[in-house]
Structure 1
Amino acid sequence: MRIAVGSDHGGFNLKRVIIEYLEERGIEYKDFGCYTCEPVDYPDIALPVAKSVAEGRFDRGILICGTGIGISIAANKVPGIRAALCHDCFSARASREHNDANILAMGERVIGPGLAREIVDIWLRTEFEGGRHERRVNKIKAVERNGFICCNDTKQEEPIR
């Protein structure tokens, strides 16, 4: 498994913990920055990570900022990305099982390093269940492809303009 990793300055220290975790387990990764605690805009990190995952150069991504909110919003603007903000183990597992999340977002100012490592471990080990969840994820993919919202299996809204 290949993981794209990135953080802004607010997530820099937690990113180092996550990189240490990946190295301990022999998981291949690329650090997309930032590389110091100097301020950087989270979209400048989130978008290259998200693009690399969407293009298939990496299997999944991990993004960290102060809260995880901004960096996940930015990543989710890239078609094909399902970035999930997770600050607990249940959400991490469900984001993979039910939503096939391909980017994990966390906030350094929200959780500590021990919990973050546990969340990453669960998130990386958990597979997508498919089944009824696949139908729902496919509806999200349809919005990205077609620019319209699938309300249910038989009714569709007008195209978004």
Structure 2
Amino acid sequence: MKIALGCDHGGYELKEFIKRVLERLEYSYEDFGCNSTESCDYPNFGAAAARAVAEGKCQRGIVICTTGIGISIAANKIKGIRCAHCADCLEAEMTRRHNDANMLAIGAGFTGKNMAERMVEVFLSTEFEGGRHQRRVDQITALEN
């Protein structure tokens, strides 16, 4: 599985940490930036990572800004993306199980490295349950048209 990564300056350091986590877990990734802590605009990087997921170049994505909110909104503007802003492992698990989320948004200003690491592990290893949840995901997808 290949993971798309994107962040702004507020998420840069956590993104670099998550790259090491992905390497340890033996996931490949593509980094869509940013590449420093210099002030930049999160929509550009969130959308670039989301496009890679929507186009099938990457199977899942992780985006990070200071709160995780703005970059999740930007990612969700891309057709085919279900980006969930999560603050803990249960949310990361349930958004995969019930919503088939294909992107995870993390707030670097609120989420420490240990929690982020575990959230990434859970998000990437949890399968979608389907069943009654598929009907709801289909309804969400229909809203894009």
For normalisation by structure 2, the TM-score amounts to 0.99
Q: Indicate the SS of the match to 2:14.
A: helix
The RMSD of aligned alpha carbons is 0.6
Instruction: Choose between structure 1 and 2: higher helix proportion.
Output: 2
**Matched residue, 1:150:** none
Q: State how far apart, in whole Å, the 2-side matches of 1:23 and 1:66 are.
A: 23
Show CA shifts across 1:70-95 (max 9, x none): 00000001110000001101100000
Partner of 1:95: 95
Which residue of the partner structure matches residue 109 of structure 1? 109
SS in 1 for 2:67: coil
Number of aligned residue pairs: 145
Instruction: Give the superposition deviation at 1:129.
Output: 0.3
Q: In the alignment, which residue of structure 1 is the partner of 2:44? A: 44
> What letter corresponds to residue 8 of structure 2 in structure 1?
D
* Structure index of larger Rg: 1
> Equivalents in 2 of 1:24, 1:137: separation in Å?
31
Q: Percent identity?
A: 54
- Structure 1 portions without partners, runs of 5+: 146-161
Structure 1 residue 143, shift from structure 2 partner:
1.1
Partner residue, 1:63 = 63
Q: Secondary structure at the match of 2:143?
A: helix
Unaligned runs of 5+ in 2: none
Segments ≥4 residues shifted beyond 3 Å = none
Partner Cα separation in structure 1 for residue 56 and residue 68 of structure 2:
23
1:67 deviates by: 0.4
SS in 2 for 1:92: helix
Higher relative contact order (CA 8 A, sep 6+): 2
How far off its partner does 1:26 sit? 1.5
Counterpart of 1:31 in structure 2 is 31
